[in-house]
A and B are shown apart, each in its own frame.
Chain A
Amino acid sequence: MEGFVYVLFIVVLAVNALLSIYGIVYRRSLVKKLISLTILSDTVFVSIILVGFIFKYPVVPPVYSGVGGEEAYLLEHGSDPLPQALVLTGIVIGLAVNALIAFGVIQVYRLTGTTDAKRAIRVLVEEVMEE
């Protein structure tokens, strides 16, 4: 039973990643590309946390609660703390890059009047060619 849910996890996360890559490449609006980029990075983070998860019952987060003598229990039933720390750093850096991309999209709209990727590039290239 756990094996089937494990395989379903991997297949659904792979399909999510492929859908978001389709959204980045084949959709023409810059805002839609930004949305698909956030979906792709979120899917990668969830798959990293899947590496540190164990399919046992009960499973607890790796936090001591102050009542003594818990180390053996946490070593048996706790989830892995290292992938969670790496994903925390990843979420912060992803937020910084996405905020910068959002400002970039607004500036492209101010300079060219459109958020369509092909038309914006054509307008900018024509402006450079005129000079």
Chain B
Amino acid sequence: MIVTLIVFTVALILSLVFIYYAITEKDLLKAAVFSAGQSVSYAILLHTMAAPDIAMTYLAVSVGLYSALLVFVISKTERYEE
């Protein structure tokens, strides 16, 4: 049980750090990479919470499809915010 609680705490704090860096970053490509990092830490959280179906779906959608979609959109519009 103690290992599960440690994994929870580490994954939660990591997700908070990634979200803060993603929202306050001016370079949009770096923000997309931080968003992918936040998705990985949420996937670790979801697997430890005994929901393997959701972890598989979330990993494929958020790390795979959203990152690719954001890179396509950034390459067609501007890279730096304001």
Contact = CB atoms under 8 A, between A and B. Distances in A.
Nearest to A57: B1
A23 B77 contact: no
Interface string B48-70: 01111110011001100110011
How many chain B residues sit at the interface, stated as a range, is 35 or more
Contacts, number: 126
A23 B22 CA distance: 9
Given A39-B38, A42-B39, A49-B46, A5 B23 contact: no
Interface string B10-46: 0011011001101100001001100100110010011
Contact of B70 (A12, A31, A91): A31
A116 B42 contact: no
B62 A42 contact: yes
A122 to B, nearest CB: 15
Most buried by A among B42, B53, B77, B81: B77
Nearest to A31: B28
Contacts of A60: 50
A39 B19 contact: yes
A120 to B, nearest CB: 11
B74 A39 contact: no
A8 B12 contact: yes
B5 A19 contact: no
Nearest to A17: B19
Given A35-B31, A57-B1, A88-B54, A9 B78 contact: no
18 contacts: A8-B12, A12-B15, A23-B23, A27-B23, A31-B77, A32-B23, A32-B31, A34-B73, A35-B32, A39-B19, A46-B42, A60-B50, A61-B51, A61-B53, A79-B50, A87-B51, A102-B70, A109-B78
Interface of A: 1-2, 5, 8-9, 12, 15-16, 19-20, 22-23, 27-29, 31-32, 34-36, 38-39, 42, 45-46, 49-50, 52-53, 57, 59-61, 78-79, 84, 87-88, 91, 95, 98-99, 102, 105-106, 109, 114-116
